[in-house]
Chain A
Amino acid sequence: MSETVTYREALNRAMGDALAEDERVFLFGEDVGASGGAFKITDGLFDRFGPRRVRDTPISEQAIIGTAIGSALMGLRPLAEIMFADFAAVCFDGIANELAKYRYMTGGQVTMPVTIRMGNGAGGGFGSQHSQAAENWLLNVPGLKIAVPGTPADAYGLLRAAVRDPDPVLVFEHKHLFNIKGELGDPPAVGELGTAEVVRQGTDITLVATQLMRHRCVDAAQRLADDGVDAEVIDPRWLAPFDLDTIAASVDATNRLVVVQECPPNGSWGASLVARLVGERLEAFDAPPLLVSAEETPVPYAGVLEELWLPSVDRIVDAAKRTVAY
């Protein structure tokens, strides 16, 4: 039996279940306690688990990440919230230099079962400093695992998997998806690291996208179907570890690829994916793979500008048609 929940409710359920499952888990961050969080994602958890398990911090992102690292060193399983992923820049040293490298630099003396949740992505009118899809900043840092859930089921499943994992996992929660609804199993499924989901099966072209862009790709696939193009849609769900096999198998069958991402192209996961597939299986392609990205500017504020910045369903359909017609 399943239940219809929002992405927000799924995250809340995942944290409650993780706290209930393991005494070593504690949740902390700015306003996550009695106030229930800036986006009400932690609502009710403070009342249920108390101030020891659910703890407010000062507005001190470096202290938050350090607290996560130090607690993990001593055997706890910290679940930290960085309110907006953009704020990862404030504690970049903690994430990129300390958390990611600690196990390696100590020759395996420590494990780092840290989960960091961050509000991610554009589409909500938050402006340039509260809207970035910041996961791309961390792609070039070995030692981190990166989850990018796009549905309520994945919001639950990936977050649960992150907390159970012995390594640092960054979970990017897309702000523009908080209210979308989807099915959650009973009991809800815990995800498996590094597994993509084939969202829609198709034979003519492979569309790959995460989070908000995944949903736009599903819409685009519907429009393409009306025009006789059968698109396969794949959501990687994890950027690290990355499920290249599922996407490669799809490209081998469709021979066409469009990757859609909510960020500028330089230094992005989509650019890395295209480079790898071209390098490893050029012969599989009947057309040059395309990367549909956001524009090379900060995220603009005005609704009309922000919508132009984000890859639209129209742009995705257009790119897919050009690829099929190549």
Chain B
Amino acid sequence: MTSSTTPPGTSPIPTEEQLDWLRLMHEIRSFEEECHRMFAQGIVRGSTHLAQGQEAVAVGACKALRETDTMSCTYRGHGAVLAKGAPLDRSFAEILGKGDGLCGGKGGSMHLTDMSVGAIGSFAIIGAHLPIALGVAHAAQYKGTDDVTLCFFGDGATNIGAFHESLNMASVWKLPVIFVCENNLYGEYSPIASTTPIAQLSDRAASYAMTGITIDGNDIGVVHGVVSDAAARARAGEGPMLIEALTYRQKGHSRADPAAYRPPGELDRWLERDPITLLGQKLASEGVAPERLEQVAQEAEQAVLDALERAKSWPDPAPETRLEHVFA
């Protein structure tokens, strides 16, 4: 068992691939900014849970997976679902409650799902999907494929029973599942330290004879490298792994939360370590021209705005669709 903040050796990633990560992170950031705006304007309903600041975890992890691998995430899952390959327009359309939304307008912000790209679900009950990830991994094991499944959850989920049942059974059955805990330091409004007696959540892996590691979740290269490593091990039949990615939720818990409980200076410190900024700085240091970086950002933003415009133009769901899909 290892538990460290040092990533294992990572192979160099081609610049074009890293620029693609940057594009995707920009898209997710813009997507969520538009979501925030629309919720504030009352254009969309219910609640929304944004993950600004956590994009490196979503993109770094999903880009370490194959197309046939699967991913499940939480109600704070816009970024993860987009990172796995869901289209921007149909994702917006789902949040807007449109008939051509990913889920026909019956899921909403907290339940974005696109089975066609292996985004098997976003779950709004804390920890509920960890047991489901067991089943997805079990199916791969049962069929003899070497697909893996990745399961995102927040720090708060490590205190719920389903987390412990899932890590235990995944380890006993040697299931090809990668548990990725996005530790953004807050469970809703409560600092993790006030609800959890251990400093490093990855330590919990030790109870289940599982490898656990804590990494810098704002460094996309680290995330990509560690998840790639975990995926290779899972494919080889070596079982599950718990990765704790330290990151920060730049917004409040939900749209109603101004996050006034944060100590002064904390947000500023994390903004300096914004994952998009960090990757931009790294690419610049490796010789990518500032104009190129700016172009990637602008193209991403434009793609988001175009997608939103399309989604807004689409019709509402047909009334009779509310009765469909209860049963097969």
Point out residues on A near B: beta carbons under 8 Å. 26, 52, 57-58, 60, 62-76, 78, 93-94, 97-98, 102-113, 142-143, 145, 166-167
Q: Given contacts A62-B162, A63-B166, A97-B128, are A107 and B136 in contact (CB under 8 A)?
A: no
19 contacts between A and B (CB under 8 A): A60-B165, A66-B133, A67-B131, A70-B135, A70-B136, A73-B120, A74-B136, A93-B128, A94-B128, A94-B131, A98-B128, A104-B106, A105-B103, A105-B107, A106-B113, A106-B115, A107-B104, A108-B325, A109-B116
> What is the distance, in angstroms, from A27's C-beta to the closest C-beta of chain B?
12
List chain A residues, Cβ under 8 A from B326: 103-104, 142-143
By the criterion CB–CB under 8 Å, are B139 and A73 in contact? yes
List chain B residues, Cβ under 8 A from A142: 326
Query: Which residue of B is nearest A111, CB measured?
Result: B328
For residue B125, CB closer than 8 A to chain A, the reply is yes
Query: Which residue of B is nearest A52, CB measured?
Result: B142
Interface size class of B (residues with CB under 8 A): 35 or more
* Other-chain contact of A70, B115, B137, B324 (Cβ < 8 Å): B137
For residue B26, CB closer than 8 A to chain A, the reply is no
For residue B288, CB closer than 8 A to chain A, the reply is no
* Other-chain contact of B113, A58, A64, A94, A105 (Cβ < 8 Å): A105
The 9 closest A-B pairs by CB, nearest first: A66-B131, A70-B135, A107-B104, A74-B139, A166-B328, A108-B325, A107-B103, A60-B165, A70-B136
By the criterion CB–CB under 8 Å, are B134 and A67 in contact? yes
Known: A73-B139, A76-B143, A167-B327. 16 other contacts (CB 8 A): A58-B169, A63-B131, A63-B162, A65-B131, A66-B132, A67-B138, A71-B139, A73-B136, A76-B138, A93-B125, A98-B123, A106-B121, A107-B103, A107-B106, A107-B107, A108-B104
For residue B224, CB closer than 8 A to chain A, the reply is no
By the criterion CB–CB under 8 Å, are B135 and A109 in contact? no
List chain A residues, Cβ under 8 A from B149: 70
A105 to B121, CA, bound (A): 9
> What is the distance, in angstroms, from A25's C-beta to the closest C-beta of chain B?
11
Between B105, B131, B165, B168, the greatest number of chain A beta carbons within 10 A of the residue's beta carbon is seen for B131
Query: Which residue of A is nearest B167, CB measured?
Result: A63
Report the number of A-B residue pairs with Cβ-Cβ less than 8 Å: 140
Query: Which residue of A is nearest B164, CB measured?
Result: A60
By the criterion CB–CB under 8 Å, are B165 and A68 in contact? no
List chain A residues, Cβ under 8 A from B236: none
Q: Given contacts A57-B169, A93-B125, A166-B328, are A110 and B135 in contact (CB under 8 A)?
A: no
A93 to B123, CA, bound (A): 11
By the criterion CB–CB under 8 Å, are A66 and B102 in contact? no
A117 to B249, CA, bound (A): 42
By the criterion CB–CB under 8 Å, are B103 and A71 in contact? no
By the criterion CB–CB under 8 Å, are A62 and B107 in contact? no
Q: Given contacts A105-B106, A107-B325, are A70 and B113 in contact (CB under 8 A)?
A: no
List chain B residues, Cβ under 8 A from A166: 327-328
Query: Which residue of B is nearest A113, CB measured?
Result: B328
Residues of B300-328 whose CB lies within 8 A of A? 324-328
Query: Which residue of A is nearest B136, CB measured?
Result: A70
* Other-chain contact of A109, B113, B125, B140 (Cβ < 8 Å): B113
A26 to B135, CA, bound (A): 12
* Other-chain contact of B132, A70, A103, A106, A167 (Cβ < 8 Å): A70
> What is the distance, in angstroms, from B135's C-beta to the closest C-beta of chain A?
2
By the criterion CB–CB under 8 Å, are A104 and B142 in contact? no
Query: Which residue of B is nearest A102, CB measured?
Result: B121
Query: Which residue of A is nearest B100, CB measured?
Result: A107
- Bitwise, B113-127 to A at CB < 8 A (1) or not (0) is 111100011010100
Query: Which residue of B is nearest A100, CB measured?
Result: B326
A137 to B133, CA, bound (A): 26
For residue B287, CB closer than 8 A to chain A, the reply is no
> What is the distance, in angstroms, from A24's C-beta to the closest C-beta of chain B?
9
